[in-house]
Structures are given as structure tokens and as C-alpha cells.
């Protein structure tokens, strides 16, 4: 296992190499100095999506959602808390399927919310339907 982990900055998308032991809530991006592990969902767009999928050594979980989707909005507070609790274990992100339809189509997203977990650049798990916080933590722990 490498001593270093690659972490894509949520703010500027620079790929940081961080010593595994130093990866904590205080870690900052070497380029823009923003916190590397913000403890809240990272907003993904067509501009940074592939970089986050390929460039993070931590597992990446993406919530495919939309502003008009009631169950998505209901799940949002639990998802934010999951992001805070898992800040050093996984990259927790969200993608607005309304503004980023190309990516939603590429992944064949037919219902939302849908969670997709990626590891080493590949999809490893997928789950549709809203979950509460215990359900989210369980699914992310088992899948990502
Ligand atoms: Zn940065």
C-alpha cells in the first residue's frame, strides 16, 4: 500500500498527493489552500467529473439528484451529515442531473436519487432511492 493518497481538490480540482497519515480535516490543497476534505458534498460538473472519478485514491460516492426531486431534497440533510462523518474515508459528491444531463445519460441514470460508488476509476456499486443517515452510512461502508 502506498504511503501517499491522491486527493482531488473539491475547489480547484488539482490532484494533491497527501501522506496517508496526514490525511485529516486540516489538510489543505497545495494549490488553492482550500480544505481538501471539506466534510460536505463536493459539487461535480462536466468540468471536474472525470478528474474526480479517476484522480481520487479514496472511494468516490456520487449522488445523482435534481432540484425538483422531492426524495432527493429529503435525503440531502442526511447526505450532508454522511459527508461530514466520512470526510477522511470517502469522497462524497453530488451531481445535478438537470444541469449535467450528459453525465446522467452516460451513466444511464433513470431514477433519482441514485447513488453510484467508484473505486480506482470504475463503478463498483449503485443504489436507487432515498436513504436515511444509517442507511447511507451502511451502504457507503459496504459499497465504496
Ligand atoms: Zn485546490
| Tens-place pLDDT, residues 2-33 | 789 999 999 999 999 999 888 888 899 999 99
* Dihedral of alpha carbons 18, 11, 78, 99, sign: negative
Is pLDDT at 144 greater than 90 in this prediction?
A: no
CB count, 10 Å around CB of 141? 11
| Tens-place pLDDT, residues 82-99 | 999 999 999 999 999 999
Instruction: Report the C-alpha gap between 27 and 82 in whole angstroms.
Output: 19
pLDDT score, position 35: 95
**CA 99 – ligand 1 centroid, Å:** 23
Active site residue 72: yes
Q: What cell was used for 70? A: 422531492
| Tens-place pLDDT, residues 114-143 | 999 999 999 999 999 999 999 999 999 999
**CA 16 – ligand 1 centroid, Å:** 8
**CA 102 – ligand 1 centroid, Å:** 25
Active site residue 12: no
CB 124 within 8 A of CB 115: no
**CA 108 – ligand 1 centroid, Å:** 30
pLDDT score, position 1: 61
pLDDT score, position 76: 98
Instruction: Report the C-alpha gap between 71 and 35 in whole angstroms.
Output: 30
What does residue 123 show for φ and ψ, rounded to 5 degrees?
Answer: -70, 130
pLDDT score, position 83: 97
Instruction: Report the C-alpha gap between 35 and 127 in whole angstroms.
Output: 29
pLDDT score, position 40: 96
- Which one, of 104, 92, 127, 120, lies nearest residue 46 by Cα? 104
Instruction: Report the C-alpha gap between 36 and 20 in whole angstroms.
Output: 13
| Tens-place pLDDT, residues 43-85 | 999 999 999 999 999 999 999 999 999 999 999 999 999 999 9
Instruction: Name the pLDDT band for 42 (thresholds 50, 70, 90).
Output: very high
Is pLDDT at 37 greater than 80 in this prediction?
A: yes
**CA 43 – ligand 1 centroid, Å:** 14
Amino acid at each position: 500500500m502506498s504511503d501517499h493518497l491522491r486527493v482531488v481538490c473539491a475547489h480547484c480540482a488539482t490532484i494533491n498527493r497527501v501522506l496517508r497519515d496526514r490525511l485529516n480535516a486540516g489538510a489543505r490543497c497545495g494549490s488553492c489552500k482550500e480544505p481538501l476534505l471539506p466534510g460536505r458534498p463536493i459539487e461535480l460538473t462536466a468540468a471536474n467529473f472525470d478528474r474526480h472519478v479517476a484522480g481520487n485514491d479514496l472511494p468516490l460516492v456520487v449522488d445523482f439528484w435534481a432540484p425538483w426531486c422531492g426524495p432527493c431534497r429529503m435525503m440531502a440533510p442526511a447526505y450532508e451529515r454522511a459527508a461530514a462523518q466520512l470526510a477522511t474515508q470517502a469522497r462524497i459528491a453530488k451531481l445535478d442531473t438537470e444541469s449535467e444531463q450528459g453525465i446522467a445519460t452516460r451513466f444511464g441514470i433513470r431514477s433519482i436519487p441514485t447513488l453510484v460508488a467508484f473505486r480506482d476509476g470504475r463503478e463498483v456499486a449503485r443504489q436507487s432511492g432515498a436513504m436515511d443517515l444509517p442507511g447511507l452510512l451502511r451502504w457507503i461502508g459496504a459499497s465504496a
